[in-house]
Amino acid sequence: MKISIGQALYYQKTTDMDVEFVEGKLNYTHLVSRASKSNKPLLEQGITKVSPISGPSSTVTPAILIRSSRTNKGKGANPWYNVFDSWNGRIEYFGDNKSLGDPKTNGNKVLLDQAESHMSQDPEAREAAAPIMFFEGQKKPKKS
C-alpha cells in the first residue's frame, strides 16, 4: 500500500489493526502492523526506530519514524518549533533531547547512528540507510 506526502492518516494507538479505514482516513495501525499486535511501531515518542528485520545476508532497519505535534509547539514541554515543510524539502527537527544534558538520548542516538549512511559518498551505503518518515500530529476536530 502506498501513502503520499501530506496524506492524513488516522492514528490512535489502540485502534484495531484489522480495520483499514477509520473516519475516512487510512488507519496507521493497519498500515504498519505485522502479524503480532505487540510489535507495531507507534508514534508515541518523538523518534521511533522500527524493529530490525533479518534477511538472508543482513539485518535492516525498515524505517525511522519521527513525530512532532502542532499542538505542543512553543509550550513548556516543547519550547522548540519543529518545521515540517515537506513540499519544499525542508525539515528542521530538534530531536528528543528537550532539556539540558546528554544530547544522545535514545531517539537522537538512532538518528546519529544513521547519519553516516545517509550522508555517505557511497551510493550503496546511502541505499542501505533506513528511510526516515516524518509525521506531524494535528488536533482532532471537536465533535459538535
Interval 106-129: pLDDT, tens = 788 888 889 999 999 999 999 989
Verify that 31 and 46 share a domain, yes or no: no
Average pLDDT over residues 51-76: 78
For all residues of the chain together, what is the average pLDDT? 80
The reported pLDDT for the residue numbered 70 is 65
Verify that 58 and 87 share a domain, yes or no: yes
The reported pLDDT for the residue numbered 86 is 76
Average pLDDT over residues 35-57: 80
Verify that 33 and 45 share a domain, yes or no: no
List, for residues 73-103, the tens digit of each pLDDT value. Answer: 555 555 667 888 877 888 888 776 665 555 6
Q: At residue 43, what is the residue type?
A: L
| Domain boundaries, position 92 | 41-137
Verify that 98 and 125 share a domain, yes or no: yes
Separation between Cα atoms, residue 32 and residue 81, nearest integer Å: 27
Structural contact between residues 98 and 79, judged by C-beta atoms closer than 8 angstroms: yes
Verify that 5 and 21 share a domain, yes or no: yes
Q: At residue 19, what is the residue type?
A: V
Structural contact between residues 54 and 38, judged by C-beta atoms closer than 8 angstroms: no
Strands 9-10 and 25-27, sheet pairing: parallel
The answer as to whether 63 is a domain residue is yes
Distance set, CA 34 to CA 59, 63, 100, 120, 143 (Å): 17, 14, 37, 31, 32
The answer as to whether 21 is a domain residue is yes
Q: How many CA atoms lie within 13 A of 60 on its CB side?
A: 12
Structural contact between residues 66 and 134, judged by C-beta atoms closer than 8 angstroms: yes
Q: For residue 48, count other CB atoms closer than 10 A to its CB.
A: 20
